Amino acid sequence: MLPARLSFVTYNLWGTERWPERGAALRLFFERYRPDVVCVQELTPQTEAVLDEVLVSHRHVHDAFGGWRTEGNIWWNAELLELVAYGAEPVGIEAYPDRRLFWVRLRVGDRPTTLFVGDVHLSDSGLPAELDEGRTTRVHEAKAVLAALGRLVGEEEPAFVLGDFNDALAPLAHFFLAGYESPWAALHQLPPPTMPAFPDRLLGYGFASCFVLDWIVANKRARPLSVSSPHVYADNVPPSDHWPVHAVYELAGP
């Protein structure tokens, strides 16, 4: 039996900002890449409709909890993967009460292997406590995510966490210490900035900088084969103020 190989994307879809200007670019990205698993943040009904229209072979979670439509959700290729379970774990993101660790457990269709996929969007650095006093809640949130993973992930199960970590240091360090690794590190590459895709997104605030905010991390039960941050435009407009991260993984056998 050939190894199971799956492509993953994380994408912060930027809510309703500059919509529908970005719609054609978002559609073009998913038409070209068609990842097997997609984790999104800042979802809206409009962007949900675009993904459903383009990813016709995919399914995503439908649930009464509103965060699945206004914060995060996960799409998977139903021709390859079957939904086993899903959930939305509170992880202490107090400024955004509908943000959770959104997760699914998926079975690879032709074998008994399951994988765990989590989608996160940690608090941003623009909150008053951080801007005024340098206090961040992202480390606390990251530790809560890891505690939930400890309860949810099976001992031999490949596990992935994708999302907008709004950071490139402290929260990630706790994931690395817990045995999760980014595909950039595993493949001995440096990650490019993932924000801003619109230059004026930050230039108007009096400074110019780029940030690596969007990440994919996985445990040792999955081996990355490639990783990139594709820049797709339609009529010189990007799909979001963030760039996505795209990675291909090979899953460990049972």
Q: What is the pLDDT of residues 171-228, one digit of tens each?
A: 999 999 999 999 999 999 999 999 999 988 776 666 678 999 999 999 999 999 999 9
Report pTM: 0.96
For residue 111, the 8-state DSSP code is S
Q: How far is CA 208 from the centre of its chain?
A: 25
Per-residue burial over 224-239, b if 16 or more Cβ lie within 10 Å, else e, is beebbbeebebeeebb
Own/partner pairs for 53-59, CB < 8 Å, 24+ apart?
53/27, 54/27, 54/30, 55/30, 59/83
Tell me the pLDDT of the chain (254 aa) as tens digits. Answer: 677 999 999 999 999 999 999 999 999 999 999 999 999 999 999 999 999 999 999 999 999 999 999 999 999 999 999 999 999 999 999 999 999 999 999 999 888 889 999 999 999 988 888 888 888 999 999 999 999 999 999 999 999 999 999 999 999 999 999 999 999 999 999 999 999 999 887 766 666 789 999 999 999 999 999 999 999 999 999 999 999 999 999 998 66
- For residue 60, list its beta bridge partners: 75
Q: Between the CA of residue 222 and those of 182, 216, 252, what are the distances in Å?
A: 11, 12, 6
Contact status, residue 240 vs residue 197, Cβ threshold 8 Å? yes
Domains along the chain?
5-251 (3.60.10.10)
